């Protein structure tokens, strides 16, 4: 038994798996089994079962309803059948059956993982507990600590579920990042240097209590504190990282619904996100080839994370990027040299989480630094932009002496674009027109009936 497992067992109350999840999701919070459209949401669990042939895996998704039936079944698999399948769940409720961040409705607990705990002396788990004591006031005290193998999951259960509005999600992400920085310190973990700290999404899923760790042992929960309030958690982060539950809009929801019915239906009811430019899938295929040949230990996770980012940018279906990522898992694992640094299903799912978060903008410098793969930018041959453009114009004047390449009449006006669209779509709405033309709705309204 690992030292931190023995420490938790000696000092804190063991919580049976179903009792733990009953506290996270109290009775009546989730959708009732077999009852549709009751206005409630559900949890979503994932099970990864390795196939014997070719290193493939089977990915199954389960809806977690108020009776927790599917959770009981997954836990029973480990308890009775000694299944070592990888099972995860996030303490978040979703509308529908997809774990996309746009479908997330309430957070029941903020979870932070700390891995590679120190096992020597009074460091590691003992230092973590000491730093969360009231008299220390350095870290918030977690409600539960989950022993998940070489690391732990700290669950800060909220007294009241947190609604996941866009501004709240941004705030929670900043809060979690700062708390992660504070928790991954040299008294607690061997991996305290900036390049080793693991920053995770607030929507990240974690091993289900009562199922297998990567070492085949049971994932166990211990009660270490009381449920927390958002105000309490705000006391441990800088002012700019505090979370506010004020919905950032000058209008009430009722006013917004009356004034912008199309927007309300898409964003509030259906949970859609702002659109983005779709790139050709060549970009995705190129990056997949790059990481197959160039990924190295220390960058494997980020290589897959960037694959998910490119998948979103290129409109690649989830099933395809999921299959590609798991197919690369075995190849990445062959690069492992340290027994403490295996590349597992958890690493793949953590990387895929960014696809669920629908991230489609990521600085190219960050991709280069995190993946360790050099990306050639569009070249200007070290010339300043002004000089570079002069050379291009000079070449154009030679190839096209009369400037035939130019559109002398200029770009069509917004009025002309709207009027042309109206002629082609006589029954179309203002919202459809603005969306298709990517023009401000106010401008569309100005010329819509001209």
Considering the domain boundaries, does residue 263 fall inside one?
no
Per the model's pLDDT, the better-predicted residue between 136 and 75 turns out to be 75
pLDDT at position 10, please?
93
Average pLDDT estimate for 226-235: 96
Considering the domain boundaries, does residue 54 fall inside one?
yes
Considering the domain boundaries, does residue 71 fall inside one?
yes
pLDDT at position 369, please?
84
Considering the domain boundaries, does residue 212 fall inside one?
yes
Examine the pLDDT at 450 and tell me if it is beyond 90: no
Q: Which domain holds residue 289?
A: 282-371
Considering the domain boundaries, does residue 190 fall inside one?
yes
- Cβ atoms of 238 and 178 within 8 Å: the answer is yes
| pLDDT tens-digit readout, 88-103 | 999 999 998 888 888 9
- How many distinct structural domains can be found in the chain? 3
Considering the domain boundaries, does residue 359 fall inside one?
yes
Examine the pLDDT at 36 and tell me if it is beyond 70: no
Are residues 175 and 104 both part of a single domain? yes
pLDDT at position 389, please?
72
Examine the pLDDT at 249 and tell me if it is beyond 60: no
Are residues 115 and 209 both part of a single domain? yes
Please give the mean pLDDT across all residues of the chain: 85
Examine the pLDDT at 68 and tell me if it is beyond 70: yes
pLDDT at position 126, please?
93
| pLDDT tens-digit readout, 260-289 | 777 677 666 666 555 555 788 888 999 999
Are residues 225 and 147 both part of a single domain? yes
Examine the pLDDT at 380 and tell me if it is beyond 60: no
Are residues 151 and 295 both part of a single domain? no
- Cβ atoms of 219 and 212 within 8 Å: the answer is yes
Considering the domain boundaries, does residue 159 fall inside one?
yes
Examine the pLDDT at 157 and tell me if it is beyond 80: yes
Considering the domain boundaries, does residue 322 fall inside one?
yes
What is each CA distance from 420 to 408, 425, 440, in whole angstroms?
20, 9, 16
| pLDDT tens-digit readout, 162-206 | 999 988 999 999 999 999 999 999 999 999 998 889 889 999 999
pLDDT at position 42, please?
94
Are residues 14 and 124 both part of a single domain? yes
């Amino acid at each position: 038994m690992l030292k931190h497992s023995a420490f938790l067992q000696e000092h804190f109350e063991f919580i049976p798996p179903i009792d733990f999840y009953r506290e996270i999701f109290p009775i009546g919070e989730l959708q009732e089994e077999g009852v549709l459209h009751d206005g409630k949401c559900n949890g979503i669990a994932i099970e990864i079962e390795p196939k014997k042939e070719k290193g493939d895996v089977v990915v199954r998704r389960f809806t977690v309803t108020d009776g927790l039936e599917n959770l009981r079944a997954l836990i029973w698999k480990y308890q009775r059948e000694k299944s070592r399948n990888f099972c995860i769940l996030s303490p978040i409720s979703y509308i529908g059956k997809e774990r996309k961040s746009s479908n997330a409705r309430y957070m029941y607990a903020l979870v932070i993982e700390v891995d590679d705990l120190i096992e020597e002396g009074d460091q590691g788990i003992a230092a973590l507990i000491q730093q969360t004591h009231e008299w220390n006031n350095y870290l918030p005290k977690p409600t539960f600590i989950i022993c998940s193998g070489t690391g732990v999951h700290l669950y800060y259960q909220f007294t009241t579920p947190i609604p996941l509005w866009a501004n709240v999600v941004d705030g929670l992400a900043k809060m979690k990042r700062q708390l992660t920085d504070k928790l991954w310190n040299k008294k607690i973990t061997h991996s305290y240097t900036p390049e080793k700290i693991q920053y995770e999404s607030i929507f990240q899923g974690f091993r289900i209590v009562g199922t297998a760790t990567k070492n085949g042992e049971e994932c166990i929960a211990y009660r270490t504190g009381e449920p927390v309030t958002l105000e309490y958690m705000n006391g441990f982060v800088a002012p700019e990282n505090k979370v506010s539950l004020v919905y950032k809009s000058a209008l009430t929801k009722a006013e917004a619904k009356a004034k912008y019915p199309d927007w309300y239906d898409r964003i509030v009811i259906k949970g859609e996100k702002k659109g983005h430019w779709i790139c050709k899938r060549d970009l995705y295929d190129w990056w997949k080839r790059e990481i197959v040949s160039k990924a190295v230990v220390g960058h494997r996770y980020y290589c897959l994370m960037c694959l998910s980012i490119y998948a979103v940018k290129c409109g690649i279906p989830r099933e395809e990027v999921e299959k590609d990522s798991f197919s690369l898992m075995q190849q990445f694992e062959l690069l492992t040299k340290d027994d403490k640094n295996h590349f597992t299903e958890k690493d793949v799912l953590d990387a895929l989480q960014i696809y669920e978060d629908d991230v489609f903008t990521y600085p190219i410098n960050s991709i280069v630094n995190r993946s360790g793969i050099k990306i050639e930018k569009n070249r200007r041959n070290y010339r300043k932009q002004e000089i570079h453009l002069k050379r291009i114009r000079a070449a154009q004047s030679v190839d096209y002496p009369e400037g035939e390449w130019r559109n002398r009449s200029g770009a069509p006006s917004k009025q002309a674009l709207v009027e042309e669209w109206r002629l082609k779509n006589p029954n179309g709405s203002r919202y459809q027109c603005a969306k298709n033309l990517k023009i401000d709705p106010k401008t569309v309204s100005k010329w819509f009936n001209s």
